[in-house]
Chain A
Amino acid sequence: DGGITQSPKYLFRKEGQNVTLSCEQNLNHDAMYWYRQDPGQGLRLIYYSQIVNDFQKGDIAEGYSVSREKKESFPLTVTSAQKNPTAFYLCASSMISGNTEAFFGQGTRLTVV
């Protein structure tokens, strides 16, 4: 089945540690996105990528990093520089960046203690 897979679903880390969230899609989509969602809030854009080996900062990129070495994969690293990393992280993909519907993974709930 085609889809977008995020792993793990739940992640716990100690403060000061970097952590990488996985996002893989087999939809042959060019565009991929990372969003952060805090309780009762909407989705805020962290990074997005229109094509392989290219990505742009979103509205809240500080403390995060990404790579896009393969079309199928867009991992997000939450670094120790991110001051408040506990949140629900959502990865999405779309055929063309912005202009077509985005499909979401199941999300990763990150808790930093």
Chain B
Amino acid sequence: QKEVEQNSGPLSVPEGAIASLNCTYSDRGSQSFFWYRQYSGKSPELIMFIYSNGDKEDGRFTAQLNKASQYVSLLIRDSQPSDSATYLCAVNSKVEGAQKLVFGQGTRLTINP
């Protein structure tokens, strides 16, 4: 089982609709969860982070965390063509006292005008 799993997509959503991106993780001890956006050929940029169970909203973006189910999601409301990108879920994981940041394989999102 991979440490962090995402559906690689592609996920196609019409402009103005809600895009829902999902991520599961294997380490029950994980405490920090991040969503990054990556445009083709560019480096990832942070969109959201979440540490506690529940929802966290920032503008059009909402991150949702359920530690019991080991599940984290990202909702994008009123999707715009500029939201078309690959979305990477990242989770911290502790191995022999060292903390590392593990990424999923990413979900490619396309917003159709």
Contacts and interface: CB of A to CB of B under 8 A. Distances in A.
A64 interface: no
Interface in A44-96: 44-45, 48, 50, 56, 58, 90, 92, 94, 96
Nearest to B96: A56
B103 A35 contact: yes
B112 to A, nearest CB: 20
Interface string B76-104: 00000000000010101111001111111
A48 B34 contact: no
Interface residues of A, number: 28
- Determine the main DSSP class of B at the interface with A: strand
A43 B100 contact: no
Contact of A102 (B31, B90, B106): B90
A99 B95 CA distance: 13
A33 B101 contact: yes
Contacts of A50: 98-99
Contacts of B34: 101-102
A42 B98 contact: no
Contacts of A44: 103
Interface string B1-14: 00000101000000
Contact of B32 (A42, A99, A104): A99
B43 A107 contact: yes
B32 A90 contact: no
A56 B103 contact: no
Contacts of A98: 32, 92-94, 99-101
B42 to A, nearest CB: 8
20 contacts: A33-B100, A35-B103, A41-B106, A42-B6, A42-B105, A42-B106, A44-B103, A45-B100, A45-B103, A48-B100, A50-B98, A58-B100, A98-B92, A98-B101, A99-B31, A101-B46, A102-B46, A104-B45, A105-B43, A106-B43
